[in-house]
Structure 1
Amino acid sequence: MPRLKYTASPIALVQFAYPVAALAQRLHSLDVFRGLTIAFMILVNNPGSWKTTYAPLLHAEWHGWTVTDMVFPSFLWIVGVALTLSFARRVDEGQPRGRLLAHTCRRAALLFLLGLFLNGFPAYTLATLRIPGVLQRIAVCYLIAAAIYLYTGVRGRIAAVAVVFGLYWLLMHPGGYEKDTNFARHVDSLFLSGHMWSATKTWDPEGIVSTLPAIATALFGVLAGDLLRTGLDAARKTAWLYTSGCALLTAGLLWDLAMPINKNLWTNSYALFAAGFSTLVFAACYWFLDVLGWRRGTRPLALYGLNAIAVYVLSGLFARAMGMITLADTPLKAHVFAAFERFANPYNASLLYALLNVTVLYGAAWVMHRKGWYLRI
């Protein structure tokens, strides 16, 4: 079986400044998987009405999971894979690790600031500006995972996963995992008071303590990237991906018996389960797209993946614009949703509105690709 060549961005959701001629050398399955997560994120974040949204498109209220809860950890897992493939090439070329780490710090800082920009848009009230967020968590996890990758080997990376899991367990287990009594809530209330997600106010889903297992999520992606760089043939790599994915899923389900799978707390069991899910989905993408070459129909998802950070930011800005622009004192979003309700039941109308967002953002991704615009941070 022919050996494949892999290159990837140093950060899955941040750096997408590739000339078109270089795209053929990219790991197409990673672009498609990244695009799939972005497209699904837009779908679940932008229903016509939260009251009439199909249950699988909602997050679990507290313990448990839905497919929607797998989206964000997939982002982080992809970040880990991508940084491994990129940094390995750069280290092989002789680039100093210190320089790579400094570059990583700059990217992480800019990504964190971009997250703050998105949190505050359009009115920036510093007294209540939410500090945590999706981009902020990606920035922190990317930076720490990159540092661990640059200065440890495979055993060190596995040890790092064990350390963050152990530290999280020591911090969280005594207080339990219920919404009003867990340790993560107390830490968020102490250090982030007034600067948390408005829907929760007393804790944040991207809070301080829950970032620990999220780092492990990125490290599982790093380990998958290590596997892809081995000299194994493609069939064995795929087999190892499936095996490790099933093992992680099983481990997460078993740990759920003692530590509930919970996205809001990003529990260890959730990190394991979600990493297994991501590994299995990527294994399928890798086998069918990169090994067998079955790429027909995947271009839209690849375009999402090639400019993921721009699409993510635009989706947030577009959603807010639809709520801010008014016609006859009614938000534009309400007008569009009402138009869908004229010929569809409320649940389908809500889904159609979400699909409209996916379509509009795909149009933006297509235009940016045609123009050669790839957001660089």
Structure 2
Amino acid sequence: MFLMMAEVLRCCRVAAALPESGLWKFLCHHQSHVEWIGCSLHDLIQPSFSFMVGVALPFSIASRSARGQSRGRMTLHAFGRALALILLGVFLRSTGSSQTYWTFEDTLTQIGLGYGVLFVLGFRPMRDQWIALALILMGYWAAFALHPVPRDFDYTTVGVSAEWLKDFGQTGFAAHWNKNSNLAWAFDTWFLNLFPRERPFGFNGGGYATLSFIPTLGTMILGLVAGEVIRSERAPTAKIQWLLIAGLVALVSGAVIGWLGICPVVKRIWTPSWTLYSGGWCFLLLAGFYMVIDFFGLKFWAFPWVVIGMNSIAAYCVAHLFEGFVLKNLKTHLGQNAFKISGDACEPFLHGAAVLLVLWLMLFWMYRRKIFLRI
């Protein structure tokens, strides 16, 4: 969530102004999504958010059970939460539009679409959770593989230029996962046009798709399994070892599947190989944080992230709704040149840092007053 809020730092604008700087190029790369195949740090934001939803579920179920809540009441709450996440995602995407913008590809909506199934799996043994994950990933892969690659297709009609296709397009079997010509794109050209729209839906400019919620559910299942391990009676060292091994196996498996041409590692359409690859990183990151914070007890450094994590839904909304407002008022009250102390090139970064600080202070104010947005 911190990485998502840190988008305001605008490292890419600084990199464009300082083309000779390897550092700013590196920061820009990891603050941007890769065009298609591959991964940057920025690409791991949504998988991490989805993964942690799964990690939290066993603790949530245990807490509600300890308070005497019935299975029926918990189920009603879970499906109500799923609906609320879907609608909140639609609401945030519709800001600035003349009517409701009915698409379902953002983080909150994708989580909401799969959350009900995740909740049901939370009551099943771990073996069933692994089986569900395997069926989801293999079924999703097979559906894409069996969907015919369009012949003599004019990619420019779906926002894919000839230059982009030359640089990032795939041939042969991997073409089943090309941008805006795959199964998920075909589904959206039908499904999204069932909703009222300003104009008919033809394609998503980034290649994102509604059906990605299915493998996103796979990411949440990986988190669910990790949460079960952390909550178990295993020794802390055994938990860390399990998470590290699971992370390495998932990471290598996803990378090898992509390298062999079986399924490319594409975040934008959440390919099964991406589920494994990004899930591997999530396991490894969780192992690292668990080791540092819970095993060694080094918690003091994490407070800024605790403020954000304790109010993750509020942080998501604040980042989407108030960035422009805060930036405009900083310029109004501090002056247009207030952030040029390091030169014009670094001005966007300093502007962004100031916005990030203000957004964090808003969350800190809520944290101090125990105001937490829950769904």
TM-score, structure 2 normalization: 0.79
Label 1:107 to 1:46 Cα distance change in 2 as closer, same or farther (>3 A): farther
Whichever residue aligns with residue 369 of structure 1, its letter is Y
Residue of structure 1 equivalent to 2:53: 79
Unaligned runs of 5+ in 2: 17-26, 150-175
1:142 aligns with 2:146: no
After TM superposition, give the deviation of residue 124 of structure 1 in Å: 4.3
Distance in 2 between residues matched to 1:205 and 1:364, nearest whole Å: 33
Deviations 1:183-206 (A, max 9, x none): 11111122114889x9x9603755
How many Å separate the matches in 1 of 2:286 and 2:326?
34
Specify the alignment match of 1:343 in structure 2: 342
Where do residues 1-377 of structure 1 align in structure 2 (5 Å cutoff)? 38-44=1-7, 47=10, 52=16, 54-91=28-65, 95-126=69-100, 128-150=101-123, 152-174=124-146, 175=149, 176-193=176-193, 202-203=203-204, 207-257=209-259, 258-321=262-325, 340=339, 343-344=342-343, 346=345, 348-377=346-375
* CA deviation vs aligned residue, 1:60-84 (integer Å, no higher than 9, x gap): 0111111110111000000001011
**Distance between the aligned counterparts of 2:256 and 2:42, measured in 1?**
21
Contact 2:222 2:279 in 1 (8 A): yes
Give CA deviations for 1:131-155 in whole Å, capped at 9, x if unaligned: 44221112123222112212x2111
Q: Please give the alpha-carbon distance, in whole angstroms, between the structure 1 residues aligned to 2:28 and 2:5.
A: 15
Quote the offset at 1:88 in angstroms. Answer: 3.1
Summarize the Cα distance change of 1:65–1:122 in structure 2 as closer, same or farther, 3 Å threshold: same
What is the SS of the residue equivalent to 2:69? coil
Amino acid at match of 2:111: I
Contact 1:120 1:130 in 2 (8 A): no
* Secondary structure, counterpart of 1:155 in structure 2: helix
Cα separation, 2, equivalents of 1:83 and 1:213? 18
After TM superposition, the structure 1 stretch with the greater mean CA deviation from structure 2, 141-150 or 223-232, is 141-150
C-alpha distance in 1 between matches for 2:343 and 2:287: 37
1: CA distance, partners of 2:317 / 2:338: 26
* 1:172 partner letter: F
The 3 A distance-change label for structure 1 pair 279 and 315 is same
Task: Note the aligned Cα RMSD (angstroms).
Answer: 2.8
Q: How many angstroms apart in 1 are the aligned matches of 2:62 and 2:83?
A: 22
Aligned-partner Cα distance in 1 for 2:325–2:59: 37
Q: Distance in 2 between matches of 1:71 and 1:131?
A: 17
Measured in 2, the distance between the counterparts of 1:341 and 1:186 equals: 48
Query: Structure 2 vs 1, CA of residues 130 and 353 (structure 1 numbering), >3 Å: closer, same or farther?
Result: farther
Q: Following the alignment from structure 2 to structure 1, what is the Cα–Cα distance between the partners of residues 263 and 177?
A: 8
- Partners of 1:281 and 1:90 in 2: how far apart? 27
Describe the shift of the 1:229–1:297 C-alpha distance in structure 2 as closer, same or farther (beyond 3 A).
closer
* Match in the other structure for 2:20: none
Indicate the SS of the match to 1:59.
coil
Q: Look up the equivalent residue of 1:160 and give its one-letter code.
A: A
- Cα distance in 2 for residues equivalent to 1:79 and 1:93: 21
Deviation at 1:253, TM superposition (A): 0.7
Greater RCO (Cα-Cα under 8 Å, separation 6 or more): 1
Rounded to whole Å, the distance in 2 between the matches of 1:46 and 1:375 is: 25
CA distance in 2, matches of 1:73, 1:131: 16
Q: Is the 8 A contact 1:39 1:301 kept in 2?
A: yes
Q: Which TM-score applies when normalising by structure 1?
A: 0.79
Which has the larger displacement, 116-125 or 69-78? 116-125
Q: Which of the pair has more CA radius of gyration?
A: 2
Aligned equivalents of 2:214, 2:102: Cα separation in 1: 23
Instruction: Give the C-alpha shift of residue 46 in structure 1.
Output: 5.9
Give 1:130 deviation, angstroms: 3.7
In structure 1, runs of 5+ residues without a counterpart are: 1-37
The AA in structure 1 aligned to 2:367 is H
Partner amino acid for 2:351?
Y
Q: Tell me, yes or no, if the aligned pair for 2:79 and 2:115 is still in contact at 8 Å.
A: no
Instruction: Measure the CA separation in 1 of the matches of 2:362 and 2:310.
Output: 12
